[in-house]
Structure 1
Amino acid sequence: MAELPTPIESYIAAYNAIDVDAMLACLADDVHFQNIAEGKVNAETRGKPEFATLARAGAAAFAARRQTVTHAITVAGRTIVEIDYTATVAADLPNGWKAGQKLAFRGASYFELSDGLISRIIDES
């Protein structure tokens, strides 16, 4: 597998550790984030403060979570990674997931870098 650019590798490690502050340290101030599920954008943020709010809510929702990169390609400051995702739900959630439920799915993430920081993330599953 291709080596990941350092900010992306650090971001995924922080995500897996449920360390939101370390995730934020990898991001540009004007970071743009989108989560796409089943072809629809179900979450979007612009800027670090909005991302932080979403990331803290996401961190609280899971007792454990892990992104494992299975493939990656980087070209001209843009990286696409295929990810195997597993998680354990911490508390009953509005979408019907129950506390203790185990999740597992595949997805892909697109990252753009600017001045050594992540400026755009698109997660799709």
Structure 2
Amino acid sequence: MSNSDSKKLLDRYLVAYNSFNIDGMLALLSPDVRFENYSSGQLTDAANGIDEFRALAEKSKSLFSEREQRITKLTLDQDSAIAEIAYRGQLATDIPGGPSAGTVLDLQGQSEFSFKGGQISKIVDRS
């Protein structure tokens, strides 16, 4: 996959993510996609395959009234990319033992993407 194609794929993924378009996100993923989310070095969520990813995306969608991931720096290789991410989201519901609905989260993180067959085959988010 060319760097130009990889960037276009990531741009489409972020547009779908930011607009809560789960079907749009899934259309860009390989059927055996692997997703991992790490917070402070601890694995907090994982999904194997498109069905588990959908379930996780639906759960995440219900937590936020708005959200935006923006790439601040992108390093592309032939089959992978590393994106520095600025994340902002407003909670739609209270988090038990955590912030309440309406709280705005501003985070910096990194997402690693792997590509296979013109699709995203792996996403690792770290914040």
Residue in 2 that maps onto 1:110: 112
1:40 to 26, 39, 42: 42
Give the residue type in structure 1 aligned to 2:39. Answer: A
Amino acid at match of 1:90: A
Question: Structure 2: any 5+ residue segments left out of the alignment?
Answer: none
| 1:86 to 2:88 alignment | yes
How far apart are 1:95 and its partner, in Å? 4.9
Structure 1 position 59 matched with structure 2 position 61 = yes
Aligned pair count reads 124
**Matched residues in 2 for 1:89 and 1:110: separation?**
25
> 2: CA distance between counterparts of 1:40 and 1:82?
19
Structure number with higher helix proportion:
2
TM-score where L is the length of structure 1? 0.95
User: In structure 1, how many angstroms separate the alpha carbons of the residues matched to 2:35 and 2:42?
Assistant: 14
Q: Which residue of the partner structure matches residue 123 of structure 1?
A: 125
Query: Residues 5 and 95 from structure 1, CA distance in 2 versus in 1: closer, same or farther, beyond 3 angstroms?
Result: farther
C-alpha distance in 2, partners of 1:95/1:42? 16
Correspondence 1:8 to 2:18: no
Percent of aligned pairs with the same amino acid: 35
RMSD: 1.3
Question: What residue ranges of structure 1 are gaps of 5+ in the alignment?
Answer: none
String of CA shifts for 1:69-123, please: whole Å, max 9, x gaps: 1000111210000010000000112351211001101000000010000000000
Secondary structure (helix, strand or coil) at the match of 1:5 reads helix
Quick one: distance in 1 between partners of 2:91 and 2:44? 19
